[in-house]
Structures are given as structure tokens and as C-alpha cells.
Amino acid sequence: MIQIKDHKTGYIFDPWDYLGPKRRKLMEESWAGMFRQEILDELPVNEIASAFSDIYGRPTKELYMALGVLVLQQMQDLTDEETSKQVAFNLQWHYALDITEESDEAKYLCPRTLWHLRQLVTEKELDTILFQKITAKLARVFKVDASQQRLDSVHIQSNMRHLGRIGIVVQTIHKFLVNLKRQRPDLFETLPPELVDRYLPEKALGCFSMVKPSESERTLNQVCQDLFDLVRQMSAYPQVASLSSFQLLQRVLKDQCHIQEAEGQPAAVLVKAAKEISSDSLQNPSDPDAGYDAHKGKGYQAQLLETYSETKKQLSLITEVKVESATAHDVHALIPAIKSAAARGLKPTQVLADTAYGSDDNLERAQELGVEVIAPAMGAYRSDRLPLSQFAFSDSGEVVCCPQGQEPERVRRKQDHYRVAFPLTPCAACPVQDQCPTKQGKKYRYLRYDHKVFRLAQRRQVEQTEAFKQRYRFRAGVEGAFSAWDRRTGVKHLRVRGGKAVRFAVTLKAAAMNILRATAFKARKTDGLGSPLGVTFLVYRPFSVFKELIGRFLNLPVKILSWVADDYHYPLKSAA
């Protein structure tokens, strides 16, 4: 049976009145007050209610409370056991989740129920809907201007062991043998006993972790040969091919080895050199979705798009978050992030990003969407050649003069390609002739380039201006956002592994960070009210239309603790 409580309708008698005015004020100014007033009734309970029966079964936990617990758990980076205790005893959690009863049914959530709820939310991808609803509500309440945003990625480590090549092969074989013994014991009995004794017992795995460096190459050849023999033997059974653990065996064999097949000779397995291993190869059989980045290491990355203000007078919100394998390149993340934010009414008109996002194609596609991308041009200067950006150009893309001031005799343009002819005599005496990008011809020295190269040169010229540096300096603020995100929610080192679980945790931590930011911003904005004086009313719907008039008449901040059947349920911030 489904339990859903109406959190929009206020109470006739305030259940939190026992806190007293000082503790009540602390509660309302904390994240708990923000969550209860703005977020709780926005949670998508109807989407998760479809997983339960309205007639049969035991009553569910109150669904607003249940979904809220998942968000608060990621906000404070708690285990399931710690979360269960917070629900049972923490007054802030009770206030945030609007739990007014004192029964175990209302204030107890066992770890198993929490795990089941998390699985439902993950499979239905409700974590994304939660993030979008929370972000949209905060953007409306605080009137966030989404025109200026910045984009960057952060590396995330899942809860997996970092294995070497020997460890990856050994753990994959062990996982398959355990699965095969459980699923198909008849086929398990056909395996060689020495192979089973080498990889199946947990104690035997420790032997591979103590391999001497001088013996590592020989050991790697041995375990890869065992891997090949196992795959070849089990490939004869179609019922084994559907096992995910066998598919991992095949993937590791493809990642780590070359198979040599010659006519009339048995197939041989050769171990790949380390530089031949692809970055998207399997890093750990317990987390097959994780990838490898040569700069940051194994794991995942989260693309984060957030608003910013040059004057810091508005709330900064994370408007888009997407979890990817660490192998994904940042260049592919810009356009999807812009489109996703635009689809939810948070479209930017200006995006700051680093060099990895600033390809020419990205800038052209973003411009078609009405978005200006401010990012340094990709690529580096050659130290032995003058860059094209040092030439002077006209607005139409034609070269006006070279870095030494020499004007061309003629410029020809065919579609998007340019050919510029410089006279031979002045160029022969040029002091930087060895570094000049022009090429010697019969009558002239020629400079050839296309419109894409011109745009790149034009961008490099703009990057040297003070105006560009003043606009681009706000991009660095996203690094501070990553630091605060990790300090507050522990996002860079997660308790879970696997693509879906990592996506769930990162997405809800982004939503939680938005709540924490909104709480801090509200505290800064209300500090100016200063006076602790105020008037508290219990207003019924027929009189709620007079709440602003009451405040203006008394010239004091008015706080509406509750009123009956009124959708406008959060306190007024001032009487003016």
C-alpha cells in the first residue's frame, strides 16, 4: 500500500512550536529549512509510486520522506547504517522531511529498505529527475539568471581496487569460475583441476599479488595463456555465452592479448605491449564501466555546468551534470550540456570553458544555438615558426600585412581557401624569413590557409587582449566549485562502483550541493534584515490575502508559520 503525505497544506497547530523562537530560527535558516520549504514537495513521488501496489502488500514508507532521505544521505556522504540513525534520531532530518509523528513507522528506515529504494530510483533513473526538479525549483525561487555559465569536468574514483594487468586477468578468471560453479556446475566439473586450484580459492589470489618484478612478465604470459584456454574451452557451450562474467573474459582477452592463428598450427596467444593497451580497456571486473585517463587515472568523470555572476549578487547553481567514463574527451561534452540546460529553461548565452572544449566545430555549433563559447583555442604554437595570428587580417579574412609590415601584392580567395602572394625582393631581406610560414614560389612567396585556420588565428589574437582576459578569468571559479563539492559531499571518492551507481551518487550530490548553496546564499541575503523583531501569525486561507498588508502596517518582518490549504507555503522574507 502506498503512503503519500500532503506537505503543501499547513498545520492548524504548529507541531514545531516546542522548539522555541531561537532554535526555530536556527532550523529555518539551515539546510533543513530550505529543504522543507522549497524541495520536499517537489520530489517525484508519483514516478516511484508505480513500483508499489495501492491495494496489496505492507504499507510503504511515506514516499516524500523516503526520496528525501536519499538526497540527504548523499548530501552528508553517509553509509546506510548511519543514514538509518539520522532518520531515527536527528531533529534536523525530522524537520527537513516534515516527520511530526513519534512512531517507529514514521522515524525508522532500515538499511535494507534504503537499499531497495536506491535500486528503484537508480533503475528508473529518477536521480536525474530529482536533480532537474530541485534545480528548477531553486532557479525559480531565487530568480537565477542562467545567461552566464561555465563548464568543466572533475575526475571521480569509484569504490574499486586499482589493479595491474596481472590482477585484472586473475580477478576476471576468478569471477567467472565463481559464477560458473554457481550457474552451471556440470560445466564447471569439466575444467582442469589445476586451473580451478590456481584461481578459485580466495587465498590463492594472494599469490599473484606477491609476484616479484623480475617474474611479472612470465606470470603475465602464464595467466594470459590460462585466460585464452578457458575462453576457447567455454566458447563451445552456447549457454555460457550469456553469462556476463564470460563476456568480461572475452573482453579482457581482446584488451590484453593478440591471438595468432596460422594454417595447420594451433592458435597462440601473445601479450600486448603496455603502450598498445587501449584507455577504454577493462580496469577492474567489479567495475566494468570505469575507464582510464592518462592524466587523472582510473575511474569516471563528471561534466558540470554551473551559473556564475561577475558581481556575486545571485545564486550560483549547477544546471547540468553528466557522468562519463574517464576515457571520454571533454570536446564532446559541450553541445549536449548546452542542449540539456536549454531544454529545461536554463539556456546560457555565454559559456566559459577550458581549451579542451574550445574546438572550432564546438564554437560554430554553439553559435548556431545562440551561445557564445569563450575558450582558448586548441593546439600550441610551434617555437620555430611564426604563428598566423601575428599577421594582420581584414574583417573578410584576407591578410593585410605580415608581422614585419609587408603588404601582399594580391590575395585570391576560392570558396573558403585563401592564397596570399608576397613579393620576393622584400621577403629575401626579412630577418625572420626562416620562421615565416610562407612558401617560396617562382614569382612570389605564397601563404595558403582556409577560413577555419583564419578563425583560429583570429581567436589567438583576441586571446591576447585585456578584454578577453577579464572575461575569461571567471572560468577559474569552477575549480573552487569542485573543491567545495568534494569537501561537502565527498564526490571525488565514492562508496559505490558501477556506472549506474556512480551516476546516482554524483547526480544527487550535485542536487544536494545546489541546496547547500541556496541555503548559504539565503543567509547572506537575509543578513541585511538585521532586526530580530518580527511578528508570527497563524493565518487561515480566508485571511492569507492580507499577509502583506499586515506587514506593511506594522513595518516589521512577518513570518507565516502555517496556514491551511494555501500553496504559497514558505515564509515571507520581508514586509516591504
Does 175 lie in the same domain as 35?
no
pLDDT at 565: 37
> What is d(CA 356, CA 371) in angstroms, rounded to the nearest whole number?
17
pLDDT at 119: 94
Does 473 lie in the same domain as 460?
no
pLDDT digits (tens, 9 = 90+) for 494-545: 999 999 999 999 999 999 999 999 999 999 877 654 433 344 444 444 444 4
Return all residues near 286 (Cβ < 8 A) that are at least 6 apart: 160, 161, 171, 175, 497
Q: Which segments of the chain have a pLDDT < 50? A: 529-545, 547-548, 551-576
Quick check: is 507 in a domain? no
What is the number of other CB atoms lying within 10 angstroms of the CB of residue 150?
24
Does 395 lie in the same domain as 361?
no
pLDDT at 542: 44
Element (H, E) at 291: strand 291-293
pLDDT at 545: 45
Does 316 lie in the same domain as 209?
no
> Which phi and psi (to 5°) does residue 504 adopt?
-60, -50
Through-space distance between the first and last CA atoms of the chain, rounded to whole angstroms? 46
pLDDT at 570: 40
What is the number of other CB atoms lying within 10 angstroms of the CB of residue 467?
8
Does 106 lie in the same domain as 23?
yes
Quick check: is 498 in a domain? no
pLDDT at 540: 42
Does 363 lie in the same domain as 446?
no
Quick check: is 132 in a domain? no
> What is d(CA 358, CA 375) in angstroms, rounded to the nearest whole number?
5
The CATH number covering residue 317 comes to: 3.30.420.10
Instruction: State the residue range of the domain holding 372.
Output: 148-157+293-379+469-489
Q: What burial class does residue 11 get, using C-beta atoms within 10 Å of its C-beta: 0-12 exposed, 13-18 middle, 19+ buried?
A: middle
Quick check: is 16 in a domain? yes
176 close to 248: Cβ distance less than 8 angstroms = yes
| Amino acid at position 310, single letter | E
What is the number of other CB atoms lying within 10 angstroms of the CB of residue 116?
13
Q: How far is CA 203 from CA 200, 208, 284, in A?
A: 9, 10, 19
Does 211 lie in the same domain as 110?
no
Does 255 lie in the same domain as 199?
yes
> What is d(CA 320, CA 109) in angstroms, rounded to the nearest whole number?
31
β-bridge partners, 157:
493
pLDDT at 291: 92
Does 334 lie in the same domain as 211?
no
What is the number of other CB atoms lying within 10 angstroms of the CB of residue 472?
17
Does 551 lie in the same domain as 536?
yes
Q: What is the CA radius of gyration of the chain?
A: 31
What is the number of other CB atoms lying within 10 angstroms of the CB of residue 574?
12
Quick check: is 508 in a domain? no
In total, how many domains does the chain have?
Answer: 5
The cell for 510 is: 550535485
pLDDT at 528: 52
Quick check: is 505 in a domain? no
Quick check: is 501 in a domain? no
Quick check: is 353 in a domain? yes
Does 4 lie in the same domain as 60?
yes
Does 363 lie in the same domain as 327?
yes
Share above pLDDT 90 across residues of the chain, in percent, rounded to a whole number:
53
- Average pLDDT value for the chain: 86
Residue appearing with cell numbers 584456454 = 229
pLDDT at 537: 43
pLDDT at 387: 81
